Amino acid sequence: MDDFDPASLDADKALQTILKTITSTNETEKLPIRDTLGRALAEDISSKINVPGHTNSAMDGYAVNGSEIPQQGTVTLKNIGTAWAGKPFPGETSKGECVRIMTGAAMPANTDTVIIQEHVQVNGDDITIDHANKHGQNVRLAGEDIPMGGQVLRKGKLITPADLGLIASVGISEIEVNKKIRVAFFSTGDELRPVGSKLEVGQIYDSNRYTLHGMLSKLSVEIIDLGVVEDKREAVEEAFLNAANKADVIITSGGVSVGEADFVKETLEKMGEVNFWKVAMKPGRPLAFGKIKNAWFFGLPGNPVSVMVTFYMFVQPALKKLMGLEYKEPLMINASCKTKLRKRPGRVEYQRGILTRNHDNPFEYNVAKTGAQGSGILRSMSDANCFIILPMESSGVEVEDQVQVLPFEAII
Ligand code: AMP
Ligand code: MG
């Protein structure tokens, strides 16, 4: 029971506290829709038009009045013209008439039904239709996608590619979105060397700044990379002040445990309102959260996997809130575990897994852990496509047990 700590904080509780504490700055700007991908919508959008604007044909065929469809047998109608998408038929049909119509063309006056071209017999202008057709078929009604005055999107929605099209479909060219927040980050540790330099004994390359850069790049935020800060009191202090002046959020990795050279904790206690938590989770555990001047602060552990797990579990939801996005719980699924998992009760574990569809039963998923699960083994994240989330009380998993899985697709 070496790392069981009864004084530690629930991971859920930690997230709830963070989300309750932080508040969005709510600064907004109006942008052309193409520039808003990944941002939070800062206004409700409703439509000033019907989409589609006019009742139109869903198929290539013949537009008729539904009352022409015979009860039995067939009837022959006279084709009096053509309606094209974007070039409507100007006249109207009378009894016994029809109009050749293309997909997307507005329905001519007096017509409400389309007979698809494969279901008619054509003889010059004589078009024969039969009783198997239904009144009102193959027609898209005006406003059936979005009615005039109807809500298109609500404030707080993450703008996706579909939303860009949806907004364009109601004729809107610019929308109000939340401004990008500025996120600064740096690594701490005398052992860290930048990539491209030569390593001396005991030194390692700084990889956390690269994973952080990658994770932040997936969000629509402004990234400020402040490099590596030495384990010296003055250096750490200066780095925090600099970051707090430049950014809305500061993220650090390393230096939040109680190691000898961990000045981060000391400096923070002096400079801001910062909480130090031992979160009941693995990997992860030490986590600092608070405020330095006007910047929100997240002090993540140094181990490369811990950085990623704590980022996804705590920092990413917080950033989303600060970006103005409505909170959404990530999608989780159940899977049958194909490897035995060792675990002690008393903390939540985020083991790294490979999730696959069960080929014999497409409604079921299988999951297996990636190799060694140490918090320094970044390969376990690189090989994985999901977290296997083992709850606090779990004392391990046997082969074929059901486990909860959080696909990376749902968070990354
Ligand atoms: P710390 O929390 O500073 O004690 O660091 C815990 C472990 O993570 C140590 O083995 C560090 O060498 C390692 N570590 C800390 N920062 C980084 C980083 N930026 N890149 C890679 N490993 C790191
Ligand atoms: Mg360190």
What pLDDT, in 10s, does the model give residues 196-215? 999 999 999 999 999 999 99
CB-ligand 1 contact for 253 (6 Å cutoff): yes
DSSP 378-395: THHHHS-SEEEEE-TT--
Q: Which of 13, 21, 18 is nearest to 280 (CA)?
A: 13
360 and 378 part of one domain: yes
Tell which one of 253, 262, 287, 308 to mutate to probe ligand 1, the residue whose CB is within 8 A of the most ligand atoms.
Answer: 253
What is the distance between the alpha carbons of residues 381 and 308, in angstroms, rounded to a whole number?
9
277 and 368 part of one domain: no
Question: Contact 309/284 with Cβ under 8 angstroms?
Answer: yes
155 and 170 part of one domain: yes
> Cβ neighbours of residue 116 under 8 Å, at least 6 residues apart?
59, 60, 61, 138
Q: Which atom of ligand 1 is nearest to the CA of 255?
A: 3
63 and 108 part of one domain: yes
Q: Write down the H helix ranges in 28-144.
A: none
Q: Is residue 2 part of a domain?
A: no
Domain boundary at 89, 112, 140, which? Answer: 140
Provide the angle, in degrees to the nearest 10, between the axes of the packed helices 263-271 and 233-246.
50
Q: What does the pLDDT read at residue 1? A: 39
Half-sphere exposure of 43 (CA within 13 A, CB side): 14
Q: Is residue 262 part of a domain?
A: yes
- Which ligand has an atom closest to residue 253 CA? 1
Q: What are phi and psi of 316, to 5 degrees?
A: -60, -45
- Residue 171's CATH number: 3.90.105.10
- Residue 112's CATH number: 2.170.190.11
- Which ligand has an atom closest to residue 378 CA? 1
Q: Which long-range contacts (CB under 8 A, 24 or more apart) does 133-139 make?
A: 133/69, 134/66, 134/69, 135/66, 135/67, 135/69, 136/66, 136/112, 137/113, 138/57, 138/58, 138/59, 138/61, 138/113, 138/114, 139/55, 139/56, 139/57, 139/58, 139/107, 139/112, 139/113, 139/114
Residue 321's alpha-carbon distances to 158, 180, 197, 271, in angstroms, are: 11, 12, 38, 25
- Which ligand has an atom closest to residue 213 CA? 1
Task: Give nearest CA residue, ligand 1 atom 14.
Answer: 302
Q: Is residue 44 part of a domain?
A: yes
Tell which one of 206, 303, 305 to mutate to probe ligand 1, the residue whose CB is within 8 A of the most ligand atoms.
Answer: 303
351 and 275 part of one domain: no
Question: Contact 388/370 with Cβ under 8 angstroms?
Answer: no
- Which ligand has an atom closest to residue 261 CA? 2
Q: What does the pLDDT read at residue 2? A: 45
Residues in the chain: 412
Considering Cα of 206, then 208, then 211, then 213, what sign does the dihedral take? negative
Question: Contact 251/182 with Cβ under 8 angstroms?
Answer: no
Q: What does the pLDDT read at residue 77? A: 98
CB-ligand 1 contact for 299 (6 Å cutoff): no
Task: Give nearest CA residue, ligand 1 atom 23.
Answer: 302
266 and 353 part of one domain: no
132 and 42 part of one domain: no
> Cβ neighbours of residue 199 under 8 Å, at least 6 residues apart?
193, 205
Domain boundary at 294, 322, 350, which? Answer: 322
Residue 332's alpha-carbon distances to 300, 309, 313, 403, in angstroms, are: 24, 16, 13, 10
- Residues by chain with Cβ below 5 Å of ion ligand 2: 189, 254-255, 302
- Residue 398's CATH number: 2.40.340.10
Q: What does the pLDDT read at residue 5? A: 60
19 and 43 part of one domain: no
User: Cβ–Cβ contacts within 10 Å for residue 94, how many?
Assistant: 10
Half-sphere exposure of 320 (CA within 13 A, CB side): 24
Question: Contact 247/348 with Cβ under 8 angstroms?
Answer: no
Low-confidence ranges of the chain (pLDDT < 50): 1-2
Assign 213 to helix, strand or coil.
helix
280 and 354 part of one domain: no
- Residue 219's CATH number: 3.40.980.10
Q: Is residue 1 part of a domain?
A: no
Q: What does the pLDDT read at residue 4? A: 52
CB-ligand 1 contact for 189 (6 Å cutoff): yes
- Provide the domain count of the chain: 4
What is the distance between the alpha carbons of residues 194 and 396, in angstroms, rounded to a whole number?
39
339 and 314 part of one domain: no
Q: Is residue 6 part of a domain?
A: no
Q: What does the pLDDT read at residue 36? A: 98
Domain boundary at 88, 114, 140, which? Answer: 140
Question: Contact 298/277 with Cβ under 8 angstroms?
Answer: no
Q: Is residue 328 part of a domain?
A: no
- 111-144 residue pLDDT tens: 999 999 999 999 999 999 999 999 999 999 999 9
Domain that holds residue 72: 56-140
252 and 391 part of one domain: no
Q: Specify the DSSP element, H or E, that contains 228.
A: strand 222-229
Q: Which amino acid is present at 57? A: S
Rg (CA), the chain: 30
184 and 238 part of one domain: yes
Q: Is residue 3 part of a domain?
A: no
What is the distance between the alpha carbons of residues 61 and 138, in angstroms, rounded to a whole number?
9
Q: Is residue 327 part of a domain?
A: no
